[in-house]
Amino acid sequence: MTLTLYELAAKNIQVSFSPYCWKIRMALAHKNLTADFVPLRFNELDTINFSGQSKVPVLVHNENTVSDSWAIANYLEHTFSDSAPLFGASSTLALSKFVNHWADTILAPAIAGLVVTDIYANIAQCDREYFRESREKRFGKTLEAITQHRDVTVHEFRKSLAPLRTTLQSQPFLSGNAPAYADYSVFGHFMWARNISGFELLDKDDSICQWRDTLLDAFEAMARNAPRSPIIGES
Ligand SMILES: N[C@@H](CCC(=O)N[C@@H](CS)C(=O)NCC(=O)O)C(=O)O
């Protein structure tokens, strides 16, 4: 059985920083599965043309190719049904889908608005022109203008995490007493910021930190020990 996961790499090829790839790294660990990781820079993403689309993560398992982290998580759940469930009951799957969409459509752009200049600083030189052009088009302003007031905008960001914070004040994980895919779908975005930026998204005494710390330490501290980009604002 061979699993291969195509991922996104920073300037330091060992730094995996895509939030969607981190969701799958956590899902693989949850199911006690190992994969061969293939790091790609933005300018190498044509390597995954065989998947019929242009984004990572892409999972290859025997003759099957699966793209999109949600589809990959579901593929792992069905294919490796004997190992720890990522979702459990069908109602949990349905609710996890909501959490996943919230993370990708609300949380991700908010985090990007705080760290996008750090991403630019920490990706390979050959990726920078593409990254600047595509992200400035997406945001409608320069990268520098996006993060210019982040010391102020981070307070609004923290306030917007109230549903996450309030939930985690009364239970250890979004999924209840143990972590599952809903947790990983949010945590992946915190890993993105952690591995590509030194900017602190949370106040030290925020109760979300405890949840994040527990997941950093899960699976023998796999996430905590993952290589990070140490450079902030490197030209
Ligand atoms: N919905 C997709 C999103 C994947 C995605 O946006 N991946 C980014 C990396 S974080 C990517 O490959 N971007 C390529 C690009 O911007 O050219 C998923 O859940 O896997």
pLDDT single digits (tens) 53-82? 999 999 999 999 999 999 999 999 999 999
Residues with CB under 6 A from ligand 1: 8, 18-20, 42, 45, 55-57, 68-70
- Answer whether the bond into residue 85 is a cis peptide, omega within 30°: no
Rounded Cα gap, residues 198 and 192, in angstroms: 11
Is the Cβ–Cβ distance between 210 and 171 less than 8 Å? no
Q: Which atom of ligand 1 is nearest to the CA of 17?
A: 10
Name the nearest CA neighbour of 229 among 114, 103, 120, 104: 120
Which residue minimizes the CA distance to atom 18 of ligand 1?
Answer: 68
Q: Answer yes or no: pTM beyond 0.85.
A: yes
Rounded Cα gap, residues 186 and 103, in angstroms: 5
**In the 8-state DSSP scheme, what is residue 100?**
H
Per-residue pLDDT, 1: 74
Position 127 confidence tier, pLDDT thresholds 50, 70, 90: very high
User: Is residue 154 predicted with pLDDT exceeding 80?
Assistant: yes
Kindly give the distance from the C-alpha atom of residue 70 to the centroid of ligand 1, in angstroms, as a whole number: 12
Is the Cβ–Cβ distance between 17 and 108 less than 8 Å? no
Strands 3-8 and 58-61: antiparallel
